[in-house]
Structures are given as C-alpha cells and as structure tokens.
Amino acid sequence: MKIKIARYMGKEVTQKEDIEYEVSLSDATLLEVLNEIKTKQDATLSYSSGCRSSICGSCSMRVNGREILACAYKVKDGDFVEPMKNSPLIRDLVVDMDRAYEFNAKAKAWQSSIKKGVSLSEENQMLNEFQSDCILCGSCYSVCPVYAVNSEFLGPFALTRVWKYVSDKRENEPQSKIDAIQTNGVWDCTLCNECTLVCPQGISSKADIEKLRMRSVASGYSDPSFASSFGSFGGASFDGSPSF
C-alpha cells in the first residue's frame, strides 16, 4: 500500500515536498501507518499523537482534503496526508495550535458564576452532554471557511464551548457570555455546516451557533450585516428585531 505525505521541514528548509511511502500493513489506522514509517523507514517524519483512542485530540490532520483523526482513520491505498489548515505550519503534519486555542479565552468559554450545590436534573445535564464531548482536536477550526475572510473569528469549537456554558443551568451570568460573542462571533459564521461534517465526536458547532444566535436575538442583539444593510431605513426595535 502506498500513501503520500505532504512534507515540510520547517523554516530552516523552505521547500515543501510530497513524499510517497510504501507500507505492508493492512486494515491499519493512519496513526499505525505513520508510526511504522517513522520507526522503520524515515525517522524525520513529524506528527503529533497521544492516546491512540480518539480522545486526546492530538493527531488531527487531513486525508484527501478532509479532516480526520489519524488514530480513527483506516488507511486506503493512494491516500494523500496533509496538515490542518488555518494554523501556522511548523513542520510536516504539525501545526501551531496556540492561536486557535486562544479563542477559548477570547470567547470567555468558562463558567462565570461558581456556586456549590446547584441541583441539576438529568434533562438539564443532557442539554450540553454532546458539547462537553469536545476533544479540541481543531478539525472544525481547520475546515472553517470564515478564516479566509476574518482571521479574528472566534470559531466553531470556542463557540460550541460557549454554548456549553450558556446552556448550563449552573451558570448564573449567561448574558455576559452572549455579550462576548457578538463581535467576530456568532454573526460571522456562514452556517455552511462543514464543522459538523468533520467533527469526530459528532458535535454540530453550526447548530450551537444557531442556538447562540437565538439567545442573542432574545437578549436584544441582531445580525449586524442584516441591520446595516437596512440601517438607513431605521433603527432596531427594542427587542432587537429590525423595524421598517
């Protein structure tokens, strides 16, 4: 079986090169194949990995243009492996995720009110069970087309995290979270749904962003692009819906 890997040796060597490797493994995960190449054929191949069980989020990369976890993807002959997009490439299949992760803090993705002993029903807990399955692999961030036009977009995983806390009954100050995601936030999403399609945990950031939009509207905010295009015809009414 042959696979091709996009190699880039880092700032010291500027050119990129696609290198083909042949391995004899069958029914193997991409991570197993990469380990085989690294330990037996080419020790210079760089990639990140950790748990091997799709829970640490380290081995996210792209195969044939699609974001996957290397430990959860079964390799096929002719596959083309590349690093993730929207983050600076460091080397080979490794990108620098620092900036991506910083959006968690920029979006204030945490619980603001700490109160002990709040009773939470099974239904309350189920509300954001999926959102709290996120492993921060960054697949959604890599596939998101918004970064082509707005590099300050808070992005899918950070907004899903915000929804996790906004929807949590234990959070007493959800409004402050809603306030924090108006600029470069929920309204910048194109609702293209690519994030949902690549999420290894089955989370839909698009759906979470839609829910956050509804909350935003309910608390007086409106879609700024919508408001500005109608802006000259009058302001927004008291509940945030445009008035004509």
Partner 1 sequence: MRSDVLIIGAGGAGLVAAINAHESGAKVRVITKEYPTRSQTCMAQGGINAALGNASDDSVEAHVQNTLKSAHGIANEEAVRHLCESAPDAVEWLDSIGVCFSRTKDAKIAQRTLGGASAARACYAQDYTGLKILHTLYDRCNALGIEMLSERYLLNLVTHKPTSSDAYIGGATFLNIRSGEVESYEAAAVIVATGGYSRIYDKHSTNSTSSTGDGQAACLRAGARLSDMEFVQFHPTALKGSSILISESARGAGGYLLNSKNERFTNELAPRDEVARAINEEIQKGEGVFLDIRHLGEEFIDRELPQERKLAKLYENIDPVYEIIPIKSVAHYTMGGIEVDKNSQTNIEGLFAVGECANHRVHGANRLGGNSLLELVVFGKQAGANAANYAKAFDKTIEAKEQAKIDEEYLKRVKEFSNEIDFYEKRTFVGNIFYNNVGISRDVKGLKEALEAVYKIQKETPMMGPKDRSKIYNTNLVEFLEFANMIELCESVLVSAIERKESRGAHYRSDMLEQNDEKYKAHTITYEENGTLFTDFAE
- Interface with partner 1 by CB under 8 A: which range of 14-22, 40-48, 186-194, 204-212? 40-48
Element (H, E) at 31: helix 30-36
Task: Evaluate whether 208 touches 131 at the Cβ level (below 8 Å).
Answer: yes
Element (H, E) at 165: helix 156-166
Determine if 136 is a binding residue for partner 1 (CB under 8 A).
yes
Footprint on residues 76-135 left by partner 1 (CB under 8 A): 90-92, 94, 96-98, 101, 104-105, 108-112, 114-122, 124-125, 128-129, 132-135
Nearer to partner 1, 19 or 191 (CB): 19
Determine if 10 is a binding residue for partner 1 (CB under 8 A).
yes
DSSP 8-class letter at 115: -
- DSSP for 35-72, written as a single string: HHIIIII-TT-------SSS-S---EEEETTEEEEGGG
Footprint on residues 137-166 left by partner 1 (CB under 8 A): 161, 164-165
> Who contacts 14 (Cβ-Cβ below 8 Å, separation ≥6)?
none
Helices 156-166 and 205-218: crossing angle in degrees, nearest 10, is: 50
Binding letters toward partner 1, positions 47-66, x by CB under 8 A: xxxxxxxxxxxx--------
Nearer to partner 1, 55 or 197 (CB): 55
Q: How big is the site for partner 1, counted in residues (CB under 8 A)?
A: 65
Task: Evaluate whether 221 touches 240 at the Cβ level (below 8 Å).
Answer: yes
The residue ranges that bind partner 1 (CB under 8 A) are: 9-12, 27, 29, 38-40, 43-44, 46-58, 72, 74, 90-92, 94, 96-98, 101, 104-105, 108-112, 114-122, 124-125, 128-129, 132-136, 161, 164-165, 168, 170-171
